[in-house]
């Protein structure tokens, strides 16, 4: 921190700084007693810190060491990033008895530009402590410092902002973006309208981008589009922000329409549109747009291929994933931790766990995300021992597991039936790693206990789950209900069912499980009640869906949807496969079951 010192200390400090560059020092020493004007002129012509220290000695000799004009010039040189020395400026500042507002501003600016944000804010505090009033040269850099380290709440911004007599565009932008970072989106929009009403400053790209982010977070696309359309000039950042807003709200047609209208498209805009298609499972459109991007000779970056790999992982589109992997190699896109993690996840979700391991081992650097990805990939493919082995290696390598890592570890224990180990890992989250278990972690452990038949322990664990409302535990009770059905524990199933009856849940699987529990206990009236309740709540069973990749094209089939272009041929093949079974010695009941499945 910075402290005030006396003049004797200043003299001792200066005395230690000399003896180099004697010719320059001699020219000053041999001169008659310097005037204030001469000292300032020497400071203006100074070219190095060595010369400055010699000039500073003369300043002290002639008694100008507390003169504001002289000190202002001295601090300007010391804080110059190319010639000065900010550490030395700090020392000089420590000895100034009554620094001027100019000196405070110079130091605040210098610290903020260097990235020493806490020092910048501390100097601002000293400014206020000594009764000085900030001006419009003070606030922008204080705002920047507060914004970069996010000290306290946004009220700190607002308090400073309200004290300003004049507000420039930077000040308005910092306040709006501060609210957005704090997810106070309504406040951000309100400040934007306040800027429109009270200021002569016109919104620039930074203003609009922050405000559009707030509008889309509030799902207020109408207001976002109004602000966007009223801009006189729009750069590609503004277009990208608006397209991303439509994407985030699921309005892909509007996003694509705006995308096509954009006068310029950089890689960020292309990637935003591709990522939108992937996000909403429109993988064919994502690939088509990627191919168009290639035709237009727009070179993709790692974030573009990561978006496509994510889509391949979601759909299990292995051939497409392999093609993208080949594209990465051919175009020499660096397989860093970001791209590597996406490749690991894609191959793992497509069942090629050995390929995932190969990519993981080839990574030059491995971060928490890459370790987590391979552990989760091994777990989902039933490779319990290898997943836990890599978790141990991860800790030995010094990488810190996060909450997602433990989902993989607990899933691995679930697949391997490792109840004791699962309990230990779950307990270590809080005790060893200070990670608070989330609903997913409780779900993994409850699933593990349920599979092992330890239903009482699973039920007790559900009661320990921190919850804001009852519905949050519905998926956990669903897992327990499934275990009750598997192990034939009708008594517990009924008890759990009674609890679920009191919870108005929209989860169709819970109601279905509940009906199955009642059916297994021959309580058909209760089955009817459950179905009636589903109807009253407007709960519909989610139709089954499956997909298959043929010749690089992913085909998706949904129960009851005959819209596939080759559905007639598919039905014909199913008929040829089913008839030998129907003509065999199956009973009439089996025929009745089999035919609806086919048709």
pLDDT at 549: 63
**Residues 6 or more apart whose Cβ sits within 8 Å of residue 474:** 500, 503, 505, 507, 510
pLDDT at 535: 76
pLDDT at 336: 93
Domain with 589, as residue range(s), is 545-598
| Model confidence at 392: pLDDT above 90 | yes
pLDDT tens digits for 203-248?
888 888 889 999 988 999 999 998 888 887 888 888 999 999 999 8
pLDDT, average across residues 130-150? 74
| Model confidence at 43: pLDDT above 50 | yes
- Cβ burial, residue 22 (10 Å; 0-12/13-18/19+): exposed
Crossing angle of helices 283-295 and 302-315, in 10° steps, is 150
| Model confidence at 310: pLDDT above 90 | yes
Q: Where are the beta strands (DSSP E) in 211-330?
A: none
Cα dihedral sign, 573-576-580-581: positive
Mean pLDDT of the chain: 81
Question: pLDDT band at 582, cuts 50/70/90?
Answer: low
pLDDT, average across residues 545-560? 66
Nearest Cα to Cα of residue 440 among 468, 406, 400: 406
Specify the DSSP class assigned to residue 201: P
pLDDT tens digits for 262-280?
999 999 999 999 999 999 9
pLDDT at 596: 37
pLDDT tens digits for 490-520?
788 878 877 776 765 556 666 777 777 777 7
Crossing angle of helices 474-487 and 490-501, in 10° steps, is 160
Per DSSP, the three-state class of 550 is strand
Lowest mean pLDDT among 191-195, 321-325, 497-501: 497-501
pLDDT tens digits for 154-169?
766 677 777 776 777 7
The number of folded domains in the chain is: 1
With respect to residue 576, please indicate whether it lies within any of the assigned structural domains: yes
Q: Are 48 and 77 in contact (CB under 8 A)?
A: no
State what percent of residues in the chain have pLDDT above 70.
Answer: 80
| Model confidence at 257: pLDDT above 80 | yes
With respect to residue 503, please indicate whether it lies within any of the assigned structural domains: no
| Model confidence at 590: pLDDT above 50 | no
Joined together, the tokens standing for residue 581 give 């079974």
With respect to residue 473, please indicate whether it lies within any of the assigned structural domains: no
pLDDT, average across residues 105-124? 87
**Residues 6 or more apart whose Cβ sits within 8 Å of residue 32:** none
pLDDT tens digits for 69-91?
778 888 888 888 878 888 888 88
Lowest mean pLDDT among 98-102, 145-149, 436-440: 145-149
With respect to residue 594, please indicate whether it lies within any of the assigned structural domains: yes
Which range is most confident: 84-93, 385-394, 528-537? 385-394
With respect to residue 379, please indicate whether it lies within any of the assigned structural domains: no
pLDDT at 545: 66
- Going from the C-alpha of 169 to that of each of 177, 357, 465, the distances in angstroms are 12, 51, 48
Question: pLDDT band at 29, cuts 50/70/90?
Answer: very low
With respect to residue 410, please indicate whether it lies within any of the assigned structural domains: no
State what percent of residues in the chain have pLDDT above 90.
Answer: 36
Is pTM beyond 0.85? Reply is no
With respect to residue 582, please indicate whether it lies within any of the assigned structural domains: yes
What single string gives the DSSP state of each residue in 377-419? Answer: HHHHTT-HHHHHHHHHHHHHTTPPP-HHHHHHHHHHHHHHT-H
With respect to residue 318, please indicate whether it lies within any of the assigned structural domains: no
pLDDT at 89: 85
Lowest mean pLDDT among 4-8, 34-38, 65-69: 4-8
Q: Are 251 and 221 in contact (CB under 8 A)?
A: yes
């Amino acid at each position: 921190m910075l402290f005030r010192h006396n003049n004797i200390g200043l003299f001792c400090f200066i005395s230690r700084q000399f003896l180099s560059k004697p010719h320059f020092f001699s020219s000053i020493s041999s001169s008659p007693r310097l005037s204030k004007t001469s000292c300032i002129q020497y400071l203006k012509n100074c070219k190095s810190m060595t010369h400055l220290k010699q000039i500073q000695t003369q300043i002290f000799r002639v008694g100008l060491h507390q003169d504001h004009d002289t000190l202002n010039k001295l601090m300007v040189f010391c804080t110059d990033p190319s010639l000065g020395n900010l550490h030395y400026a700090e020392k000089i500042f420590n000895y100034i008895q009554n620094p001027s507002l100019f000196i405070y501003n110079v130091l605040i600016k210098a610290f903020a530009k260097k990235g020493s944000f806490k020092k910048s804010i501390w100097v601002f505090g000293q400014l206020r402590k000594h009764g000085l009033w900030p001006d419009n040269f003070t606030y922008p850099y204080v705002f920047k410092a507060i914004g970069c380290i996010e000290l306290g709440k946004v009220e700190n911004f607002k308090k400073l902002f309200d004290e300003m007599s004049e507000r420039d565009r930077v000040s308005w932008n910092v306040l709006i973006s501060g609210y957005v970072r704090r997810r106070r989106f309504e406040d951000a929009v309100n400040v934007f309208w306040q800027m429109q009403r009270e200021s002569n400053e016109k919104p620039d790209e930074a203003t609009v981008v922050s405000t559009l982010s707030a509008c889309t977070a509030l799902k207020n696309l109408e207001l976002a589009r109004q602000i966007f359309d009223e801009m006189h000039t729009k750069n590609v950042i503004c277009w990208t922000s608006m397209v991303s807003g439509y994407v985030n709200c699921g309005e892909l047609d509007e996003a694509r329409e705006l995308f096509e209208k954009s006068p310029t498209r950089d890689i960020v805009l292309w990637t935003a549109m591709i990522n939108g298609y992937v996000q909403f499972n429109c993988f064919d459109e994502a690939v088509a747009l990627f191919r168009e991007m290639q035709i237009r000779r727009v070179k993709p970056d790692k974030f573009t291929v990561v978006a496509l790999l994510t889509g391949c992982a979601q759909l299990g589109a292995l051939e497409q994933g392999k093609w993208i992997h080949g594209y990465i190699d051919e175009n020499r896109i660096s397989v860093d931790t970001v791209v590597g993690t996406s490749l690991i996840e894609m191959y793992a979700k497509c069942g090629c766990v050995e390929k995932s391991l190969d990519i993981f081992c080839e990574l030059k650097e491995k971060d928490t995300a890459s370790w987590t990805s391979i552990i989760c990939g091994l777990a989902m493919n039933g490779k319990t021992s290898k997943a836990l082995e890599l978790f141990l290696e991860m800790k030995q390598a010094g990488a810190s597991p996060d909450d997602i890592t433990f989902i993989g570890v607990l899933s691995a224990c679930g697949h391997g039936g490792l109840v004791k180990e699962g309990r230990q890992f779950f307990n270590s989250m809080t005790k060893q790693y200070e990670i608070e278990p989330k609903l997913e972690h409780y779900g993994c452990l409850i699933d593990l206990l349920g599979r092992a038949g330890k239903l009482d322990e699973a039920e007790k664990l559900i009661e320990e789950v921190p919850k804001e409302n009852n519905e949050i535990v519905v998926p956990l009770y669903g897992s327990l209900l499934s275990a009750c059905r598997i192990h034939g524990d009708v008594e517990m199933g009924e008890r759990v069912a009674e609890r679920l009856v009191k919870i108005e849940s929209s989860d169709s699987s819970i109601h279905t499980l509940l009906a199955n529990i009642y059916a297994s206990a021959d309580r058909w009236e209760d089955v009817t009640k459950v179905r009636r309740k589903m109807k009253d709540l407007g709960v519909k069973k989610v139709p089954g869906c499956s997909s298959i990749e043929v010749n690089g094209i992913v085909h998706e089939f949904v129960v009851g949807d005959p819209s596939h272009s080759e559905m007639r041929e598919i039905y014909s093949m199913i008929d040829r496969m089913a008839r030998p079974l129907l003509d065999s010695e199956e009973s009439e009941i089996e025929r009745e079951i089999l035919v609806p499945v086919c048709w």
